[in-house]
Chain A
Amino acid sequence: MYGFSSLVLFGAFFCAVLTAGAAAFACRPVSGPSSSGRNQTQVPFPPLRPASRSFLLVAELMQWLVLLLLTLASAVLVHAFINHDFSLDYVVRYSDRTLPSFYLVTAFWAGQSGSMLFWAWAVSLSGAVFSLTPGYRRLTIETRLLFWVFFLCIISFFLLLLTTWNDPFEPWTDRSGMPAPPPDDGFGLNPMLQNPGMILHPPLLFLGYGGFVVPGCLALAQHIAGGFGSRLRSGVIEAFEEAAWGQAARPFILAAWLLLTAGIILGAWWAYMELGWGGYWAWDPVENASLIPWLAATAYLHTALIESRRGKLRRINCFLMALTTISAFFATYLVRSGIIQSLHAFGTGSVGQPLLIFILASLYLVFIISLASQVRPGKSLGSLSSREGLLVLVAWIMLALSLIILLATLWPVIANFLQSLIPLVPMSVAVTLNDLPTGLDTGFYNRVCLPLFAALSCLLAVCPYRKWNTIPVRPTLRGVFSLAGIGAALALPLLARRLDAVFQQTGQYALPEFIQNGCLALSAHAGLLFTGCFILGLFPSTRRTGVLFPNVFRFVLAAAGLLALYLYRLGVHEPVALVAASFSLAASAGLVGIFAATPRMLRDKPLLAAHGVHIGLLLVILGVSFSGPYQVEYTLQLEQGRAVRAGDYTFALQRIFQGHSSPRDTSEANYEYLQADILVSRNGAVSGLLTPQRRLYAKYEKQSFTEVSTLFSLGNEVYATLFNVEGNRATVLIHVNPLVNWLWIGGTLMCLFPLLGLWSSRARKRRPDQNMHAEPETALPPAGSEAAGKPC
């Protein structure tokens, strides 16, 4: 039976390879006059073979066949899990007879080879769905054929992995590798993975990664094909311009982004609720791996806006989308290759090498296609302070973040490589290389990435109020003074803190308090002056500077300044947290204000979706900027009948008791638990009851697992982990996490609002942007003319 399943995968592999080859053959240039009547010397993409339409039909049918075979193989694996067929190695490793049926189905993607099969299925499904969309039908045959060449090459590669290094249908073997009789029971699914968050997290990520394959392949295909086709209309052959790939694949881009976002947020929530260390993001390589494609995709979404509205940055957008797709492969490589020591135990690296070769080859191809593509260059960008310029800045920040995270994650590998060069380099260089640190702790990521996230919140306070193209304004004396005011407001507290830190380090001087206070007073004064300037409207006319909603804009800047001062007085002295929190709150209020000021804008669903996501992101930044640096941790020894005070809170242990999971409860495996009931009060008022547990699962008797308990609050959330129990005493780790729930609220908004954008994509297609069509270059040249074949 399982030999048959392996054969099914082989069959799918051969179908994909042969079809990709046939489609590539159909795209091969032919000599002589073309069917479309275009002259070969004048067109960027040579005419097709007459049979290309038939080849396209075959490619589409074969793609459906590959999907069918992959679905069949997946169904066989799920069937094996449900029927406890322990003759399969994979089923033995990730399930047992006590596992509830819900987790039996989800164990499908619990291991390396199963998750790879799931990913291949997700990619194939997204391709099949794309072939049914109206956007696909509006593409030229050349683009469609090339799309299938790229797409089926990717599918073939994953099927190659599944049929060779990573076969999920390997039989159960003994230690010597010889086939062995099936064991009576399996090893079981790790209890920490038996959590709804962890069950949905991987498939969401895989569907997200898979969804980006369609736009990535389409971008490359259109950039080679040129974007122009020919059709017969009223007996005359005429050229037509196909829809831009970004529009044709828009639902896929949005859906993939949404799924990836949801996967990342769910993963963080799982880590917070299940691991019990009080945090949600440990900058582990596996977590970083999912963030890199998300950042690249987000950078693309912003530059794509410039293309769809202004017809610019076409080449960069193609590159960014292809980069997103490749970074999804890279995420898989990081998770499965074992090149980085991680908290997560990776695979032993059997698929690492082929994946790396595939990634490097794809990257090379993408560079060549993006650079050599003959797309017509758009106009140059508008001024840096226009919305175009600010969107480019957003993309820079996103790309810088992804590059920093990539290099920091790979730093141990890079450092090892550099140190391996020691024998080859001069002594002085060798000494430096020898002293290179071989790793970076989580503090590195926080120090480098959080300021960039804070900069994003600042941009969100400005960008929505800028017009697309502004007339550059000559700097006025007032403007220069105001800018100096902002600089002083931001720089002085930082300078004072830095000087104080330097003096404390050297131990020789202490910065006199009056200087510190003076700096603060000056900066507060400068901030207020600047805010006042805006409130009183002393800046040059907003009409000339290209400001939309000038009153809301003034409100946002004033609110940010005042909030920063207020938060500073409350004791928030971390500069990054201060900037991030004040601008996040002010920018969110501003975005709500825009819609409140002009309610008819609520009908513009894509705009509503975009700003909804922005508000979500701002709330995430608010949550992160506080819950990290202002988290408070207490390790408490609690005794029954004695209250312990920690900070503003009082903790009273009420009882410790043992229990076991209800046999009727089929949502989790059987376990016994030890629970401590702790009454929490704050300043005399009861806040609630904490019930942290330690659990012993039937299949994992040697280890106990923590089950954290939290007291939900939009302000300070109290989070308890039961550490140890001795008689009527319990050791409990308490974290007070300020504003952490705004992270989950913001994350949920980021996952929900793109649905509005998806819903409205059809409406948007019917209402193309006026600006785009106002440009004379987009007018279609007449058929047969010299320019007819020029790509868009």
Chain B
Amino acid sequence: MQAQKNKTPYFAALAFFLAGVAYLIFAGFSESSMYFRDVSEALTMPKNELRATRLFGTVREGSIRLDKQGIRFQLEDQHDKSLTMWISYKGVVPDAFKDEAEVIVEGGFEPAHDDFMARTLMTKCPSKYEKDNRV
């Protein structure tokens, strides 16, 4: 009987706890979702549907343009190099950013701009486990 009595508060607390965690996950999920796309996929979609998007691709050789605040460059599709998209980015450019670097950009299209406006620009990090970091 004693064991039965002791367990009830635990089950109630667990239910509350799980409900709280579920709420946090739901709230986080609805506000922080991101759509991962390749350049080829992004090109086929209407611009107004590309808001919170993460694009993977390679920086097209010779396409990097620097200005005071940031950079513009063309992002090539990983599989089909003829498919490219102009990316604008304002902020600090990572160290490993260069022609033909594999990059990840997060952002979306804004009504006033033709370029994909990147909020973050990340290059593949020089990981310990990289198989081919220099070719």
Contacts and interface: CB of A to CB of B under 8 A. Distances in A.
Interface of A: 93, 109-112, 115, 187, 190, 192-193, 202, 275-277, 284, 286, 335-336, 341-348, 380-384, 389, 392-393, 396, 400, 404, 412, 437-445, 447-448, 451-452, 635, 637, 702-706, 721, 723-724, 731, 733
Contacts of B2: 380
Nearest to B119: A441
Contact of A345 (B21, B27, B52, B125): B125
Contact of A346 (B31, B122, B129): B129
B119 to A, nearest CB: 9
B124 interface: yes
Interface in B49-101: 52, 54, 56, 66, 68-69, 90-98
B122 A343 contact: yes
Given A412-B36, A443-B31, A451-B24, A192 B95 contact: yes
B12 to A, nearest CB: 8
Contact of B35 (A277, A437, A731): A437
A614 B2 CA distance: 33
B92 A703 contact: no
A276 B13 CA distance: 43
**Which residue of B2, B96, B127, B134 has the most chain A CB atoms within 10 A of its CB atom?**
B127
B32 A444 contact: yes
Given A115-B128, A380-B2, A444-B33, 6 more contacts: A190-B133, A345-B131, A440-B29, A452-B24, A704-B95, A733-B91
B28 A448 contact: yes
A127 B96 CA distance: 40
B5 to A, nearest CB: 9
B92 A193 contact: no
A247 B46 CA distance: 62
Contacts of A724: 66, 68
Contact of A341 (B9, B56, B126): B56
Contacts of A444: 28-29, 31-33
B21 A404 contact: yes
A109 B128 contact: yes
B129 A443 contact: no
A383 B10 CA distance: 8
B43 interface: no
B92 A276 contact: yes
Contact of A731 (B13, B28, B68, B96): B68
B126 A440 contact: no
A193 B124 contact: no
B68 to A, nearest CB: 7
Contacts of A380: 2-3, 6-7
Interface of B: 2-3, 6-7, 9-10, 13-14, 17, 21, 24-25, 27-29, 31-37, 52, 54, 56, 66, 68-69, 90-98, 102, 104, 106, 122-131, 133-134
B68 A637 contact: yes
B126 to A, nearest CB: 4
A441 B34 CA distance: 6
A706 to B, nearest CB: 6
B98 A703 contact: yes
Contacts of B32: 440-444, 447
Contacts of A276: 92, 95
B96 to A, nearest CB: 6
Given A380-B2, A392-B10, A440 B34 contact: yes
A441 B106 contact: yes
Contacts of A187: 133-134
A192 B133 CA distance: 13
Nearest to B71: A724
A375 B75 CA distance: 60
Given A438-B35, A441-B32, A343 B24 contact: no
B76 to A, nearest CB: 16
Nearest to B95: A705
B133 A345 contact: yes
A396 B14 contact: yes
Contacts of B13: 384, 389, 393
A447 B28 contact: yes
Contacts of B95: 192, 275-276, 703-706
A475 B65 CA distance: 69
Given A345-B127, A635-B69, A382 B6 contact: yes
A206 to B, nearest CB: 11
A93 B24 CA distance: 44
Nearest to B17: A396
Contact of A286 (B21, B31, B98, B127): B127
Contacts of B10: 381, 384, 389, 392
Contacts of B122: 343
A202 B129 CA distance: 11
B36 A341 contact: yes
A439 B122 CA distance: 16
8 contacts: A202-B128, A344-B130, A380-B2, A438-B36, A637-B68, A703-B95, A724-B68, A731-B68
A115 B129 CA distance: 8
A661 B128 CA distance: 25
Contacts of A723: 92-93
Contacts of A345: 102, 124-127, 129-131, 133
Nearest to B18: A400
A25 to B, nearest CB: 37
Contacts of B9: 383-384, 389
B133 A93 contact: yes
Given A341-B56, A389-B10, A706-B95, A440 B125 contact: no
Nearest to A116: B129
A342 B125 CA distance: 8
A4 to B, nearest CB: 25
Nearest to A437: B33
Nearest to A189: B126
A344 B104 CA distance: 11
A780 B41 CA distance: 69
Given A437-B35, A447-B32, A277 B127 contact: no
